[in-house]
Amino acid sequence: MTDIILQLKHRNETMFYFGLICLLFSIIFLILAKTTSTQVYGVNAWYKPFKFAFSTLTFALAMAWYCFYLPDFNIKLFNWSIILLLGFEIVYIAVQAGKGELSHYNQTTPFYSAMFSLMALAATLVTLYTAYIGFLFFKNTFPELPDYYVWAIRLGIIIFVIFSFEGFVMGSRLNHSVGALNDNSNLFVLGWSKTEGDLRISHFMGMHALQVLPVLSYFILKNTKWTIGLSLVYGLLAVLTLVQALQGRPLIKELKAQKEIINTK
């Protein structure tokens, strides 16, 4: 682990320190979630900035690692684009959490509507930039890297981009639940609904293909066919969770609801 950390710092020192800042914010937000009582839609308000900060940490470090392989890539432009765009989102979400106000879906005032639109724009730009990097991984060859690893990066980016844009399904509805209004069932810090369809599940699964597939391919599978097969299965599972959510069906049902169904029978 120490070797990986040192290698990451060597590959992209700017993004390495941005990741450390995100990690620090994640810890602070998690502590606030455990020590304060401000709630938004039935859960502690600080869980949301925690999730965004930690997700940004994993995205930034993964992309810093992959971009190191790209020839003639403008890494400074990439670094500062990610820092400014995702940093803006984290700061605004945290400010709103401190006020006990919504960050996403908030259209109660013209200012909040504009900020919601700016967050959507930031997410779009980051996704398009990531898609461009994916294109570069298809355009270039990497003889120094195992084929299975390169394919894992390529397919991980494709799935990431698809399910990053799936976020617009939630944005257009101003709601991440199907069958309720932004339900949060206190499923650990994820908050996924245990009673209604939840569009955040496929969003989460798809976006983290960016980390999951290359790690599994490089350290475990070590085979191109297995890597492509796993990527297809992973992408299919993400699609199925989306279909399930759109049908208003939860991934995990509350035990209480299950007992009531049994009792009615």
Whole-number pLDDT of residue 194: 82
| Interhelix angle 110-139/47-67, nearest 10 degrees | 30
8 A C-beta contact, residue 92 and residue 119: yes
- Of 165, 167, 179, 191, the C-alpha closest to 249 is 179
Q: Among 31-45, 105-119, 174-188, which is the least confidently predicted range?
A: 174-188
Span 36-58, mean pLDDT?
94
Q: Where are the alpha helices (DSSP H) in the chain?
A: 2-11, 13-35, 47-67, 75-99, 110-139, 147-165, 167-173, 200-207, 209-216, 224-246, 255-264
CA distance 43 to 126: 28
8 A C-beta contact, residue 235 and residue 160: no
CA distances from 256 to 194, 253, 259, 263 (A): 10, 8, 5, 11
CA distance 76 to 56: 18
Neighbours of 190 (CB within 10 A): 15
pLDDT per residue over 115-128, tens digit each? 999 999 999 999 99
8 A C-beta contact, residue 217 and residue 150: no
CA distance 24 to 130: 24
pLDDT, the chain, mean? 93
Span 35-59, mean pLDDT?
95
Span 17-43, mean pLDDT?
95
Q: Are strands 43-44 and 39-40 parallel, antiparallel or unpaired?
A: antiparallel
pLDDT per residue over 127-138, tens digit each? 999 999 999 999
Span 203-209, mean pLDDT?
97
Residue 7: pLDDT band (50, 70, 90) is very high
Compare 199 and 251 and report the one with higher pLDDT: 199
State whether residue 242 is helix, strand or coil: helix
Span 207-231, mean pLDDT?
98
- Of 57, 45, 50, the C-alpha closest to 15 is 57
Whole-number pLDDT of residue 259: 47
Whole-number pLDDT of residue 185: 67
Span 16-23, mean pLDDT?
98
Q: What percent of the chain has pLDDT over 90?
A: 84
8 A C-beta contact, residue 179 and residue 230: no
Look at the block and give the residue holding tokens 């898609």: 131
For residue 101, pLDDT over 60 is answered with yes
Q: Among 100-104, 136-140, 249-253, which is the least confidently predicted range?
A: 249-253
Whole-number pLDDT of residue 165: 97
Q: What percent of the chain has pLDDT over 70?
A: 93
For residue 254, pLDDT over 60 is answered with no
Q: How far is CA 130 from the centre of its chain?
A: 13
Q: Are strands 197-198 and 177-178 parallel, antiparallel or unpaired?
A: antiparallel
Neighbours of 179 (CB within 10 A): 16
pLDDT per residue over 70-86, tens digit each? 999 999 999 999 999 99
For residue 255, pLDDT over 50 is answered with no
CA distance 216 to 204: 18
CA distance 17 to 21: 6
Span 143-154, mean pLDDT?
98
